[in-house]
Every structure is written in structure tokens, then in C-alpha cells.
Amino acid sequence: SDYQNLIFENQDGISVITINRPKALNALNADTMGELDRLADTLAKDPAVKVVIITGAGDKAFVAGADISYMQPLGAVEGREWAKFGQAVFNKIENLPQPVIAAVNGFALGGGCELAMACDIRIASEKAKFGQPESTLGIPPGFGGTQRLARLVGKGRAKELLFTADMIDAAEAYRIGLANKVVAPEELMDAAKAMAQKIMSRSPIGVRMCKVAINEGLDTDLETGVAYEAEVFGLCFATADQKEGMAAFLEKRKPNFTGK
């Protein structure tokens, strides 16, 4: 494969990306980020991929952060470029046309927590641990963590997690809304795939419009957000999926969606 630090396999519409540097707890170095960037471009253009799942290799870590040995010698300009690049990669993942599920199998720290937060949905193993330990290293999060964590769990909880650098377990991540659900470690991939399959049974157009309306709208004010919602809602009435979904309901049968 042209990827050294990622494994990916496409099966039945689901693409599973595994961050694969287990000796460094899957820490994100420049090469790995470059590969993620390239793979995101490829997946975005692949109509055979309906849902993406991101996980980490091994049984210890999802991703234990950006690679500290890579970052330690960086200067200010390089540091800024690194943050900008990582933010662009994670924005790309967040805005992939497909739904993206993080299957958080272990440590999701720093850039790893930020990667999980760039995904649409987070399913955590009971062994998962979340945190933003950057303040122990003399930096704030730089791959979107200050913004996405505050949006997901609220300002107060985000500030507590960032200031204290505390690690939280899966149950606490679930309680504060950082994890969508928690499952036994051995059930993690099945749970992620089952959710992927359920999403795939819904209309691709409907799901896609939900994603863009939330992603585009939530970063604006309510009035702009609901106006955008009305536009994508209206757009769906020019699609076969809307005609089929509503006809199937009225005819008391299962819909046969084409995503067109």
C-alpha cells in the first residue's frame, strides 16, 4: 500500500481506517498526518465508500496525541504551520461527504481526542481514556481542540479538562457528551459497524443533508442555521430519495434508496 502508518480496508460500503504506529501509541507525526490528508481526499471521491470508521492499532491507544518527539524542536513559525496543517486535515475529515465514526479503542489524548472530535460520532470502548494533556507540555491544543471540545461539552467542562489536563474514562466521556456510547472492548468494532449499517439503511441524501446542515449551520447563528436547513430541506424535494422514501411510507413498504 502507499500508506506506511495507516491501514485501510473497504468492505460492503464501510471504510475502516486504522492509525498504525502502535509502538508510539499511534501518535500523529508529519508522515501520518500527510497520509490522513491524502486518504481523506481519496475517500471523499470514492462513491463506493458510504461510511468511514477511524480506529487505532493495538489494544492500548486510539491515538496518544501528536508526536511529541516531532514537535519538541519546532520553532514558532513551524509550530503554527503544524497546527494549520493538522486543522486542515481534521476539517477535511469533519466535512467528508460520508458519516465518520470514531471507534475509540484506548487512549485518545491531545491530537487523538481532537481526531475523535473531528469525527461525526464517537463510540468508546470501556478501556478508552480521553484528555487534552497539552497544558502539561507548555502548549494549548492545536488541532481544533479548544474549539471542538467547547462546542461538544460546553465551555466550563472544556476549560476544566484543558486547564487540569485530567484524563477521563469512557463513562465520564459518555456522561458529558464526548462519547455517544460505551461498549465492551471486544464489541467495539461490531458496534461501530452496526451503527454504520443502520446509517447506510437510511437515505444517503437525507443523511448527507443532516450532516451539512449541522456542520454549516452550527458555526453560524440560529437564524442563519435554520435558513440553511430550509434550503437543504427544499433541495431534497428534487431528489429520487425523497419521492421514494415518502412513497414507501404511504405504500407501507420498505424504501429502496438510490442516493440520487
Active site residues: 114, 134
Binding site for ligand HXC (CB under 6 A): 24-25, 27, 64-69, 82-83, 86, 107, 109-111, 133-134, 137, 141-143
Q: Is the Cβ of residue 99 or residue 111 nearer to ligand HXC in the bound state?
A: 111
210: Cβ contacts below 8 Å, ≥ 6 apart: none
For 17, 74, 198, 233, the CA distances from 57, given in Å and listed in that order, are 10, 27, 25, 39
- State whether the Cα torsion 22-26-31-37 is positive or negative: positive
Helix pair angle (145-153, 155-164), 10° resolution: 130
The CA distance from 95 to 210, in Å, is 12
The end-to-end CA distance of the chain, in Å, is: 32
The CB-of-114 to ligand HXC minimum distance in angstroms stands at 6
